[in-house]
Amino acid sequence: MENWLVIGSGGREYAIAKCLAKNKKNNIYVAPGNVMMNQLSRVNCVDIDEMDFIHLIKFAKDNQVICTVVGPEQPLSKGIVDAFKDANLNIFGPDKYSAQLESSKAFAKEIMKEANIPTANYREFKNFKDAITYIDGHSMPVVIKANGLANGKGVIVAQSEDEARTAVEMLFNLPNQNEIIVEDFLSGQEFSFIVMANGEDIIPMPLAQDHKRLMNDDKGPNTGGMGAYSPLPQFGNNVIKETIKSIIKPLLHKMKDNGHPFTGFLYAGLVMTEQGIKVIEFNVRMGDPETQVILPQLKSDFGNLINELLNNQSVRAQWDESNYHLGVVLAAKGYPKKPVDHLKLPIFNNNDLDISYAGVQFNEGDVYSHGGRIMMVTSKGDNIAAIQKKINKEIKNNVNSDDYVYRTDIGSKAISETLILKVNKKGTHKLNGLI
């Protein structure tokens, strides 16, 4: 058996551990994990906090872990990769310098400017007065971002000057936030492109589309993500090729030139504008909930891909191109501000569904909700509309809407824009053999 260590506890890490465990020769530890991960074959949780680098390193050494995969952004931003490398341990993720692509919006914008990567025009502000002076008279809407990490909730699209003022005040009052970014709003359909990278070598993953807003029709507050689907029939291989050429490759080349070659999952949050593809943001880890609909498409051995990439070998991944994957997040009532805790978990008895667990806890012999986003219900098929209908029906029949909030329109952008939703019709989104 080969021992792997996954850092994190959410739905993303649930999907990563499950994918690594497809290889029966792998034994997967997850720190700290969640109680439902222990029900996966060859997966065991370890009671070590994701920020406790000293004990994580000791565990990896004591258990002869061949490689560690980091899920969340916080340990990456604090230098977990640097610490593991100093201890001569294999780890898949970017160093602390490169992690600034996510932990500092200002850093990412400067890198994009230097690498000529298309993105929105922006200004940085370190106080409320200067930000408001800039916003007053500026055309609306504007996008206001916390410069540092904000758990996926540090971005506000302000439709009016009053909304912008409220957003600036709120972001400056967040813990450890002393700078904000105000940028022009980019109009168009948003999507996510994630690659596995080592230096300038990459493995592209299928495109996905997240749904950030809490409610249908992209209304309500921003969240960590309420659902996703993949691949995207509305965008063909030309979009992937252009993104690699104009965004991914220039960024990786710039990071290498700066003396910090990027290793790990590089997430590009993109928007298709009338002027072409532009970057909304970079993340330095897989997305949640995108991971839960991307990794089930992987036919190659996940662990082997990571090891081969780290060893600078020529790597080509194989993907299932016969199905779409769509998932809906169930969040506790009150999310994202004050989610209700200790809710009874919904039970699904349909074998066509796959459940990824996130905010759960064990209490008095049973499992209950704990946190905001509790689980994600996913399924696959060759027709996005049919998958959406099936999941929505199952949720309606099995979920107490007084306890949980969820969206029913995940995938609707693809349904409305694509008349024929058969996979590979007209040769769309064939990743196999792309690179």
In the three-class reduction of DSSP (H, G, I as helix; E, B as strand; rest coil), residue 105 is classed as helix
Query: Rounded to an integer, what distance in angstroms lies between the CA atom of residue 4 and that of residue 59?
Result: 11
User: How much is the pLDDT for 224?
Assistant: 93
The pairing of strands 122-125 and 155-158 is unpaired
Q: Which pLDDT score is estimated for 133? A: 87
- In DSSP terms, 413 is beta-bridged to none
* Confidence at residue 420, expressed as pLDDT on a 0 to 100 scale: 46
CB atoms within 10 A of CB 178: 11
3-state secondary structure of 434: coil
User: What is the C-alpha separation between 168 and 148, in angstroms, rounded?
Assistant: 14
Per CATH, the number for 127-178 is 3.30.1490.20
The pLDDT of residue 336 is: 94
CB-based contacts of 411: which residues, under 8 Å, 6+ apart?
209, 229, 324, 326, 384, 385, 387, 388
Q: Are 202 and 248 in contact (CB under 8 A)?
A: yes
DSSP state of 151: T
Q: What is the pLDDT of residue 314?
A: 87
The helix or strand, by DSSP H or E, that contains position 291, with its residue range, turns out to be helix 290-294
* Contact predicate 112/253, CB 8 Å: no
Residue partners of 32: CB distance under 8 A and separation at least 6: 9, 45, 46, 47, 48, 49, 50
CATH number of this structure's domain 189-427, picked from the four choices 3.40.50.970, 1.10.760.10, 3.40.50.170, 3.30.470.20: 3.30.470.20
Closest by CA position to 377, among listed 404, 402, 343, 403: 404
CA geometry: angle 214, 119, 247, nearest 5 deg: 100
Identify the pLDDT of residue 152: 62
CA gap 406, 328 in Å, rounded? 7
The answer regarding whether domain 2-95 maps to CATH 3.30.360.10 reads no
pLDDT of residue 427: 44
Under a CB-based contact definition with an 8 Å cutoff, are residues 167 and 182 in contact? Answer: no
Cβ atoms of 229 and 209 closer than 8 Å: yes
pLDDT at site 421: 43
The rounded distance, in Å, linking the Cα atoms of 331 and 65 is 34
**Confidence (pLDDT) at 310:** 97
**The pLDDT of residue 56:** 98
Predicted pLDDT of residue 149: 80
CB atoms within 10 A of CB 25: 9
Q: Do domains 2-95 and 189-427 have the same CATH topology?
A: no
pTM of the model: 0.93
Structure-token pair, residue 333: 């009532």
**Per-residue pLDDT at 200:** 97
If DSSP codes are grouped into helix, strand and coil, which group holds residue 50?
coil
Name which of 422, 350, 370, 409 is nearest 228 in CA terms.
409
Q: Consecutive sets of 10 residues in the chain, 435 residues long: mean pLDDT of each?
A: 97 98 98 97 98 98 98 97 98 98 94 97 89 87 85 80 88 83 93 98 98 96 95 95 98 98 98 96 97 98 98 94 96 96 96 97 91 98 97 98 97 79 50 59
List all residues 6 or more positions away from 130 whose beta carbon is below 8 Å from its beta carbon. none
Residue-range domain boundaries for the chain: 2-95, 127-178, 189-427
pLDDT (0 to 100) of residue 167:
87
Q: What's residue 435's pLDDT?
A: 54
Q: Which residues, including other chains, have CB under 8 Å from residue 282's CB and lie 6 or more apart?
A: 101, 102, 108, 251, 266, 267, 268, 269
**247 within 8 A of 254, measured Cβ to Cβ:** no
Minimal CA–CA distance to 310: which of 219, 225, 197? 197
